[in-house]
Structure formats: C-alpha cells, structure tokens
C-alpha cells in the first residue's frame, strides 16, 4: 500500500503542529507507522491522499451514523452556507434543534448548545457545583469526558492509547476534588457515598463506556448510581457524547430506563460538524446565565451550519426502522468477528451495545479499566496494520470503539469479516 503522500504531509505537519496532529490518537503512536491523511469520504468509505480507499468503522469517532457526506445533510449545509455561516446571534435553527433534542431525550427539559463534548462536560460540572455548593466530583477509571482539568484524572481514550502518566498541568486542588472509582463496581460506589456523599456535587459517567473500548454497564450498576446520588443530594450526569442518538433516539438513558439530572451530548447532534450540548431539568438549567448566576458562554455556540446538519440528522434518525437496521448490521459484523477469533484460536473478548462494539485481545472478561489493560496491544497493532492492508479502517487504538453506520451494506460487512480473518491469521503469525 503506497502512503507516500501521507508520509510527506505528516513530515510537513510535524513542523507546525504538536506531533503533526490536532488530536493525539490520530498520530498512530499506538499502532506504529504514519497516520493516513484523508482526502474524501462517501457513504461507508474513506479515501486517503494516496488514493487508497477503506471501509470505515471509525465514522469520525461516532457521528457519521448515516455515513459520510450523506446527500440530505450535504444539501442542508449547502443551503445554510449560502444564507451565512455564522452570526453570533440567535437563529431559528437553534430553537429547532433544541426542540428535537428535548423531545427525544427523556431527562432533558432545557438544553444549551456548545461547541464540543469537552465544553459540554466542563459546563455541566460547573453547573453541578454551582447548584449544590459542593466541590467534589466522582468519575470512573477509564471513562473519558474530554480534556478539562478535572476530567483527566485516570481518564480513558487517547490517554490509555499513548500510555501517558497523569497529565502535567492539572492544578492539585482540582485533582484532589476528583474522586475516582472502578467502573461497574457498585459496592465501591456505595462505600464512597457513605463517607463522602455530603461533599459530592456530582457523579459523571459514560452509561456505556466508549473510551476504553466498549464496556457495557453491569446489571444494577446504573440503578445504583441513580439511587446514591439522589440520596446524597448530588447530581447524576450522563456523558452521552458518544451514546446519545447512537443507541437509540433517547440514547443510553432510554435504553436502560435511567433518568440522570444532567446529560452531555455531542457527535451525532451536529450531523458530523463540531457541536456539543448539555441539558437537564428546567430547575437546574435555569441556574445558567442569563437566567441564573452560573456563567457559561460561547461566541459561536449554536453555529448555523452545525444546527442545520443536526436538524437533518435527527430527522433521519427518527424514521422507522433505523435503529433496527443498525442493530442487525452490528450483530452480523460482531458474530463474524467472534467466529473468526474462535476458529483461529485467538484469545478475544467481544462487547457490543447497539451500533457500538469492540474486540479486546484478552482472555479475560472486560468489565472495567483494569481488565481492559490486560489486552495484548502488540497483537492489536499487528492486526490493525494487517486490516489496513486489507482495505479496512478501524480506530488506531485497542482502547477505542468501533461504529456501524446506515451506509454499510451487507456486502461491506461480509468483505470486512473475510478481511478480518486474513488479518487475524497474519497478526497471530
């Protein structure tokens, strides 16, 4: 596979950008070699600057649930671009998308648009501290909630992929107010809240962990989080930046029938353009300026291009049969992956929730950060590069999720299963 143009672009980028990239996991440090520079994408396929085309299961890290460059979204964005790309003033599109979010997500009565998932989380945390008058927050090891200071304590995603120690630059007073627990350990949650409950402003969780690979919640785990936070007067925040509108119109909270106090959204609600949002009960959200005293602002929040794309995306996802189709396709792919590993005697653990999935190279059941770290990352590196040679593009890290889209055809999925078997043979040696 020729990647000479990508290699040249990477060398050029490293002169003017940290590590040559604008987000660390893109650098391919966890899998070796050089990152591919993408020139274009359509449907379920992406094409790099060297003309190599791949069936894509990254989907821009989740938001391309309808596939790349879907004609309806492209047309909606083109139409809006002709009217103006940014105003810094209210638009009808903001109200339209907010209404769609409120109608779909069970816990959200009022929503504030921001520009990224990180910004949504930072704002929700500030709101929780503001309304409770408490400083401490609780998060789970291996869950990633963006790069805000409080959230980088034992974080997942690229922090695991790069094998980084605790991030320098985090203010000690912030770190000491961030309490971490093992994901899926309900007993440890109860123990912590028994001793610290009165000091805790909020607990934030990915209801389905998606940043240490896909780790589903254990039975009763989310119910425990709802119970202990309510009893302690703390807020429960669901980070649904990945799961929101991917696991169903109502996200993970509808799938598991748990209503958090606040929800953070991103990815899909911008139709692939940069966007984030946080929302919840009206009494909480009314504490945000200009209605209340908790200040949060964003000059370009509610950008009309992102709002237009998001409105079209949510209309598409509301159509009958969409999520059934995603479930069927994801199940077919994952059963093929499992059969490949079993037939070749490769130790692997598989997880899937809706259209999110992972194949972990370990013989242990994966339930938390510690079990995730038992994966054979060397085997993953070989498998990843063998898959690239086969024309399949997955996330360049053992610790990231895979994503199915509506654009993946039955033929794409069968080609992927066959390519995976060959790649596993090669990676195993």
Residues with active-site annotation: 144, 239, 267
- Residue 272's φ and ψ, nearest 5 degrees, are 105, -10
Report whether 35 contacts 27 (CB < 8 A).
yes
Specify the DSSP element, H or E, that contains 202: strand 200-205
Rg (CA), the chain: 21
Question: What is the rounded distance in angstroms from the CA atom of residue 138 to the CA atom of residue 177?
Answer: 8
Residue given tokens 């669901």 in the structure block: 238
Tell me which residue of 399, 375, 354 sits closest to 143, measured CA to CA.
399
Question: What is the rounded distance in angstroms from the CA atom of residue 311 to the CA atom of residue 314?
Answer: 5
Residue given tokens 């504030």 in the structure block: 112
Question: What is the rounded distance in angstroms from the CA atom of residue 331 to the CA atom of residue 255?
Answer: 17
Question: What is the rounded distance in angstroms from the CA atom of residue 158 to the CA atom of residue 212?
Answer: 9
CA 241 to chain centre: 5
Tell me which residue of 170, 172, 216 sits closest to 352, measured CA to CA.
216
**Which residues are 423's β-sheet partners?**
none
Question: What is the rounded distance in angstroms from the CA atom of residue 309 to the CA atom of residue 31?
Answer: 33
Other Cβ atoms within 10 Å of 224 Cβ, number:
17
Tell me which residue of 314, 228, 216, 218 sits closest to 265, measured CA to CA.
314
Report whether 203 contacts 238 (CB < 8 A).
no
Question: What is the rounded distance in angstroms from the CA atom of residue 288 to the CA atom of residue 293?
Answer: 6
DSSP secondary structure code for residue 126 in this structure: H
Q: Quote the tokens at residue 142.
A: 């291996």
């Amino acid at each position: 596979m020729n990647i000479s143009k990508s290699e040249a672009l990477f060398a050029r980028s490293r002169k003017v950008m940290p590590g040559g990239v604008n987000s660390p996991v893109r650098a391919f440090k966890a899998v070796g070699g050089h990152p591919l520079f993408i020139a274009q994408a359509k449907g379920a396929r992406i094409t790099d600057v060297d003309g190599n085309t791949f069936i894509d299961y990254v989907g821009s890290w989740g938001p391309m649930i309808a596939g790349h460059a879907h004609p309806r979204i492209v047309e909606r964005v083109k139409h809006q671009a002709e009217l103006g790309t940014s105003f810094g003033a209210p638009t009808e599109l903001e109200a339209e998308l907010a209404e769609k979010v409120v109608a779909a997500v069970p816990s959200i009565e009022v929503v504030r648009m921001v520009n990224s998932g990180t910004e949504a989380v930072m704002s929700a945390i500030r709101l929780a501290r503001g309304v409770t008058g408490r400083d401490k927050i609780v998060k789970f090891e291996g869950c990633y909630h963006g790069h805000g200071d409080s959230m980088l304590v034992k974080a997942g995603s690229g922090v695991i992929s790069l094998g980084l120690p605790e991030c320098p630059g985090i203010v000690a007073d912030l770190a000491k107010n961030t309490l971490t627990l093992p994901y899926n350990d309900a007993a440890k949650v109860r123990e912590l809240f028994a001793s610290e409950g009165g000091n805790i402003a909020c607990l934030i969780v990915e209801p389905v962990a998606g940043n240490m690979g896909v780790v589903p919640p254990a039975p009763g785990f989310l119910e425990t989080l709802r119970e202990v936070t309510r009893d302690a007067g703390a807020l429960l925040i669901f980070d649904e930046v990945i799961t929101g509108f991917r696991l169903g119109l109502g996200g993970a909270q509808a799938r598991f029938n748990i209503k958090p106090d606040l929800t953070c959204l991103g990815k899909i609600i911008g139709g692939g353009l940069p966007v984030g949002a946080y929302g919840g009960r009206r009494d909480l959200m009314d504490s945000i300026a200009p209605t209340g005293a908790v200040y949060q602002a964003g000059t370009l929040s509610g950008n009309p291009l992102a709002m237009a794309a998001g409105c079209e995306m949510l209309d598409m996802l509301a159509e009958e049969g969409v999520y059934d189709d995603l479930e069927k396709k994801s199940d077919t792919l994952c059963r093929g992956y499992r059969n490949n590993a079993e037939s070749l005697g490769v130790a692997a653990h598989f997880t899937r929730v809706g259209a999110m999935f992972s194949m972990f190279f370990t013989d242990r059941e994966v339930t938390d950060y510690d079990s995730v770290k038992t994966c054979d990352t060397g085997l993953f590196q070989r498998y990843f590069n063998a898959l690239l040679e086969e024309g399949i593009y997955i996330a360049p890290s053992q610790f990231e999720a895979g994503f199915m889209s509506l654009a993946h055809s039955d033929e794409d999925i069968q080609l992927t299963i066959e390519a995976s078997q060959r790649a596993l043979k090669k990676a195993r040696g």
